[in-house]
Chains A and B, each alone.
Chain A
């Protein structure tokens, strides 16, 4: 690939035995130049075909009118112009923002649970894995569990509400509450995920620093805020990354719990895109692709922030 592949130790080997070493070295150098290419080729090729190229193709398709089978008609920016006047698009966009904001609650909630469970009583390992349980289950099953939980008349949640005197609220059939109801279902596994990240983080907090801070009289919230949380930064970074990505990727729960309803009020961009491109409402691939491009653009903002941060760590690591 390039000359920078020549690592210092190659030259070191060449230093000793003059003639014989130089032929071996040439072979070694060539081999070392080729090796990364060969090792990378199968994985990178698959990734380019199935992930990188489709991103470009989707952007291209978004400028066309296409039903998925027939000929594509170039229509320029018409799909995007249509989006600007599409009520359903704005509803989905608004719901995505609500998802993003509410979903972030998983990070502090996960930290609280991790602090609660960071003890060494008997059986704590079993407790920790049971608390983590919701993350292992498929979102489809989580969705079904919560549909049952919210079911009108007999659902556990509904019963609780009427017991507290709120009357019979059908969460998933109510335009005002439906998105929040689905997000709460999504928070359940997400909190468990953040909890496990923080439990690992807490495990690695330096005991010396805690002791030193204790001697200085720090305890409780002060200790948490000034000593513990700064040391948990790597865990917090990952928790934020996976939560943001999870919020913007939300699809399964919407699909199984409400199918976007009632009257499209719980749609998110990912779901609306699928509906436009592939459902019984018709195969509008071009229009669907333009929705996906918008979602992709939103996600790219976050991805770029993450990458810049990771790149910085990477540079400091050397």
Chain B
């Protein structure tokens, strides 16, 4: 193991290390902690210049105010309406594409694969004008559905890369044995490969959930009205209304960040496994 495990070094250094970790952590998260403190600070504290001291009272009212006076509830709901169908769609499509590219040998295999990989890296702006136009023409501008369709298509790129590499690492003998038995390709996919893909499906689902929840660019390009605005774009417009009301900005930010944070802590193992795929082999 590198560096040398602290258990093997002199006691004072070991204790020094154990003390240093939480201190560094607090410094690292300082901006976030500051915002968390601000979100429970009453407006009167801020008016009196009490920005960093102990809040005079714990004003959970800031959170109530965010929900009562703004469409925050709708924004959150809209985010779910975009995120969940996208996760299902992108994961489903990429199970199929990943299977096709991992299991079959055909001439254009690598070409198709690298089309997905390269497309996944392009700047969003090169897609913006045509995708907005397409969405307008389909009558889906300013709807959750318009966003969902684009996100599914775009995320299929990354998901295909992920699924294809995952299936490639599975023991191919399983598929060969089934073929010798005369099992059809569809059944091989459904009964043999798909059950083995569960960890990959879980990892991709949490990742895509976070990516889509946090998307801001497409939300502003394809949606206008608050009836369909996801929370990232919603908080942007609220930020304009809440000039210098930092207690509300902070409370709103924390609410908007919550769902992916909860998702991350619940599914941590899958999340990290998804994110670091490829970081170990090569």
Chain A residues in contact with chain B, CB under 8 A?
1-2, 4-5, 7, 9-10, 12-13, 24, 28, 31-32, 35-37, 39-40, 42-44, 46-47, 49-55, 57-58, 61, 68, 115-121, 124, 127, 129-134, 136-141, 144-146, 148-149, 151, 154, 156, 159, 188, 193, 196-198, 200-205, 207, 210, 223-224, 227-228, 233-235, 237-238, 241, 245, 248-249, 251-252, 255-256, 269-270, 273-274, 277-278, 285, 288-289, 291-293, 295-296, 299, 302-303, 306-307, 310-311, 313-314
Contact = CB atoms under 8 A, between A and B. Distances in A.
A184 to B, nearest CB: 10
Contact of B93 (A46, A53, A137, A299): A46
B154 A51 contact: yes
Contacts of A141: 232, 235, 253-254, 256-257
22 contacts: A1-B107, A13-B180, A40-B112, A42-B93, A43-B93, A43-B156, A47-B156, A49-B153, A50-B153, A54-B129, A54-B134, A57-B130, A58-B128, A68-B129, A118-B2, A121-B18, A134-B29, A205-B1, A234-B281, A238-B276, A288-B128, A289-B129
A31 B21 contact: no
Nearest to B163: A43
Contact of B107 (A2, A10, A202, A237): A2
A14 to B, nearest CB: 11
Contact of A9 (B131, B134, B176, B250): B176
A311 B105 contact: no
B35 interface: yes
Contacts of B99: 39
Given A1-B107, A116-B24, A193 B275 contact: yes
Interface residues of B, number: 106
Interface stretch (B66-74, B119-127, B196-204): B119-127
A159 B246 CA distance: 16
Given A138-B213, A307-B118, 12 more contacts: A50-B149, A51-B157, A54-B131, A58-B128, A68-B133, A136-B210, A136-B260, A137-B261, A144-B249, A204-B280, A270-B123, A277-B128
A156 B127 contact: no
A46 B152 contact: yes
A35 B119 CA distance: 24
Contacts of A303: 118, 121-122
A143 B152 CA distance: 26
A40 B94 CA distance: 9
B280 A245 contact: no
Contact of B122 (A51, A196, A314): A51
Contact of B121 (A61, A256, A306): A306
B216 interface: yes
Interface string B242-272: 0000100110011011001100110010001
Interface string B92-111: 01101101110111111110
Nearest to A124: B21
Given A13-B179, A31-B184, A140-B236, A131 B28 contact: yes
Nearest to B93: A43
Given A139-B216, A156-B52, A32 B5 contact: no
Contacts of A200: 272, 276, 279-280
Nearest to A59: B126
Given A40-B96, A197-B279, A202-B2, A148 B21 contact: no
A39 B239 CA distance: 45
Contact of B2 (A32, A121, A223, A256): A223
Nearest to B211: A138
Given A1-B106, A52-B119, A148-B38, A156 B1 contact: no
Contacts of B180: 9, 12-13
Contacts of A307: 114, 117-118
A57 B31 contact: no
B17 A228 contact: no
Secondary structure of the A contact surface, majority rule = helix
Nearest to B281: A234
Contacts of A235: 276, 279-280
Nearest to B119: A51
B114 A197 contact: no
Given A148-B246, A210-B1, A295-B126, A197 B276 contact: yes
A235 B272 CA distance: 13
B123 A292 contact: yes
A47 B268 contact: no
A249 B130 contact: no
A205 B277 CA distance: 15
A156 B31 contact: yes
Given A1-B108, A130-B25, A200-B276, A121 B6 contact: yes
A127 B22 CA distance: 8
A207 B1 contact: yes
B77 interface: no
B279 A234 contact: yes
Given A303-B122, A313-B282, A119 B6 contact: yes
Nearest to A283: B129
A53 B150 CA distance: 13
B28 to A, nearest CB: 6
A26 to B, nearest CB: 13
Nearest to B127: A54
Contact of A296 (B94, B110, B122, B132): B122
